[in-house]
A and B are shown apart, each in its own frame.
Chain A
Amino acid sequence: MDYALQQLVNGLTLGMIYGLIAIGYTMVYGIIGMINFAHGDIFMVGAFVSLIGFLLLGLAGISFVPLALVLVLVFAMGFTALWGYTVERIAYRPLRGSFRLAPLISAIGMSIFLQNFVQVTQGARVKPMEPLVTGGLVLRSTGSIEVTISWMQILIIVTTLVMLTVFTLLIARTSLGRAMRACEQDRRMAALLGIDTDRTISLTFVIGAALAAVAGLMYLLYYGVIDFYIGFIAGIKAFTAAVLGGIGSLPGAVLGALLIGLIETFWSAYLSVQYKDVAAFSILAITLIFLPSGLLGRNEVEKV
């Protein structure tokens, strides 16, 4: 029982990280109907930018941890958002109005490019980082097993919840959020109402990339090791989460991500760590076959 509780804590933490990435997939799909296969690599870039940020702060002699975390968060979000913007601008926008597969192929190309770019510029070896936040809370302690939630896990869960709240308010309440939803539902009509749809699409990529950067930072802090390849697996799992939740649905992406995080963690704990990726990808296959519109996917009646 306690063991399961511990796995629940671990699974939720992992799910939160996937959730931040999954939002980027689902948002871009919603607005331009393409799967941005380079999004996982944007997450990887976010992790590298975070690491570089910590090194720069180390050089500058800033050692107060909360300050360092905030500075790196802002730096990583800003810099990664710029990457997201650039990728959209050079690899996807010129192909708008082209046939449907063109931007997908371009996205895969962009993914390969980003991986190789980081490999060449940062080296292929894994990059470790000293744990920055240590210790934790003991939730229950009975007999041989302690259920703990580390400060790191609390940090991840709280940061993610804050990000999700801000993001939800942005979509629901602001002018930009309305414009994004309008573009998602009828891009041509949005333009007829004076909305600069290209700008709205760019900002969608920017926001998605900024959230992926948060995930990248969390990943770096949580696992303490990154390399140029982490974006591929994490990206596909977040994509699975988005599909499971119903691609295009924002709450669905978060729900799907939490489920994927939990399934993966419980699978590793009770069955086999080696096959944890198989578990996640089996869910992708099963969802696509039996529930193509996902858990919270759209299935509503619209009068014409």
Chain B
Amino acid sequence: MLVVENVVAAYGAIVALKGVSLTVGRGEIVTLIGANGAGKSTLMMTICGSPAPKSGRILFDGEDITGLPTHVIMRRGIAQAPEGRRIFPRMTVYENLRMGAEVLEGRHFAEDLAFVCGLFPRLKERLAQRGGTLSGGEQQMLAIARALMMRPRLLLLDEPSLGLAPMVVRQIFAAIRDLNRDRGLTVLLVEQNAYHALRLAHRGYVLVNGTITMQGTGAELLARPEVRAAYLEGGRAQDAR
């Protein structure tokens, strides 16, 4: 469904991705793990065309989307819940969700609103509240819900667990698993919380300094000693807290 081939991307003079290739198949959850600054978020944004790749190709559903403007790429069926959530702070929760439905020009809005409110009942209680006044966990739920309002075929999730209480993290990961299982939603998930992410994902990639160094199924990567040493001991410690 998504094919990234040898993508090089840079912010100004800083090269963040040095020839990254990966694929995400239809119906898969694929995770990308790596340390801070490895280029995970840059890859997510590059898939969405901002920044556009310096070289390499990105295919979505077999069509070349390299160099297209961001809004055109998103309208093809990709949605992103980005790093830092990026909720519109001075819009209500309802309006934030309505913004997600702009690509569909509001079609199916009532139906989709009911669906995301069922997925995250907390949002239903807060529909009239401004986005900026939500807690971190609620904002993350809103960010995912807003992305789902676009009815994407591919959902990009950037660090959905960052800064959240373990219980909220479990809730969000359960929601991702259900969406994938029940609705066949394809997910590319960026995480620092490698243990959770690898257990959830069908396959994973490890990104180090802008290069993919390892790949395999979630279980394979979980068993690799280098992965354990680099990402899991810390991840588990974080999880246990």
Contact = CB atoms under 8 A, between A and B. Distances in A.
Interface string A128-143: 0000000000000000
B102 A195 contact: yes
B25 interface: no
Contact of A175 (B100, B102, B132): B102
Contacts of A303: 132-136, 139
A197 interface: yes
A194 B71 CA distance: 4
A89 interface: no
A191 interface: yes
Interface string B121-150: 000000000001111100100000010001
Given A178-B102, A300-B132, A193 B150 contact: yes
Interface stretch (B90-98, B111-119, B179-187, B225-233): B90-98
B80 interface: yes
B160 interface: no
A196 B71 contact: yes
Interface in A193-210: 193-197
A283 B153 CA distance: 55
Nearest to A192: B80
Contacts of B136: 303-304
Given A178-B98, A181-B91, A194 B74 contact: yes
Interface residues of A, number: 22
B86 interface: yes
Interface in A175-199: 175, 178-179, 181-182, 185-186, 188-197
B89 A302 contact: yes
Given A189-B86, A302-B89, A178 B95 contact: yes
Question: Top 6 closest A-B pairs, CB basis?
Answer: A194-B103, A302-B132, A191-B70, A189-B86, A194-B74, A185-B88
17 contacts: A175-B105, A178-B91, A182-B88, A182-B91, A191-B69, A191-B70, A191-B74, A192-B80, A192-B82, A194-B74, A194-B150, A195-B71, A195-B102, A197-B71, A300-B132, A302-B133, A303-B135
Interface of A: 175, 178-179, 181-182, 185-186, 188-197, 300-304
Interface of B: 48, 50, 69-71, 74-75, 79-80, 82, 86, 88-91, 95, 98-100, 102-103, 105-106, 132-136, 139, 146, 150
